[in-house]
Structure 1
Amino acid sequence: MNFNLREAVLNNVTGSSQQQLEQTIVDAIQRNEEKMLPGLGVLFEVFWQHADAQEKQHMLQTLENGLK
């Protein structure tokens, strides 16, 4: 059986509103479950693929600051 996790996550969130996406992200973080991490990774991948250079730089600065 071949299961494409990326495709499954994208199918689950495609068409979601900003509010629904925020709820999904907050819920995944609050649950603190390892199984939620791949889904957050897929959402980050979507962000990165659609972000311009300034948005990417801001994200990298935010991550760097959060990891200090």
Structure 2
Amino acid sequence: MNLNLRQAIVQRMHDKNNDELLDIVQDSIDGEERVLPGLGVLFEIIWKNSAADQQSQMITTLKEHLD
């Protein structure tokens, strides 16, 4: 079976409701480093489906918290 990491993560999240998705994200934040690729895939989905102004706000928030 040739399933890549992105596909596996998306497939795992596919049938989750909003509360389940929220729990997964919250449990992953500040969690083990092994969950970081999953958060990256979820962020990629959010990024690709966000308007330019939302992307700009995310970058601004990121920049403010990196400084």
- TM-score range with shorter-chain normalisation? 0.7 to 0.9
* TM-score, length of structure 2 as denominator length: 0.87
Q: Which runs of 5+ in 2 are unaligned?
A: none
Aligned twin of 2:16? 16
What is the percent sequence identity of the aligned residues?
Answer: 39
- What is the alpha-carbon distance in structure 1 between the residues aligned to residue 66 and residue 14 of structure 2? 30
Residues 2-13 of structure 1 correspond to what in structure 2 (within 5 A)?
2-13=2-13
| Shift of residue 18, structure 1, vs aligned partner | 2.3
Aligned twin of 1:49? 48
Structure 1 segments of 4+ aligned residues over 6 angstroms from their partners = none
What residue identity is the alignment partner of 1:28? S
Q: Deviations over 1:1-50 (max 9, x none)?
A: 744111010001113222221111110114x2111000000000000110
Aligned twin of 1:28? 28
What residue identity is the alignment partner of 2:21? L
What residue identity is the alignment partner of 2:13? V
- What is the alpha-carbon distance in structure 2 between the residues aligned to residue 35 and residue 3 of structure 1? 18
- What is the alpha-carbon distance in structure 2 between the residues aligned to residue 18 and residue 65 of structure 1? 28
Q: Over aligned residues, Cα RMSD in angstroms?
A: 1.5
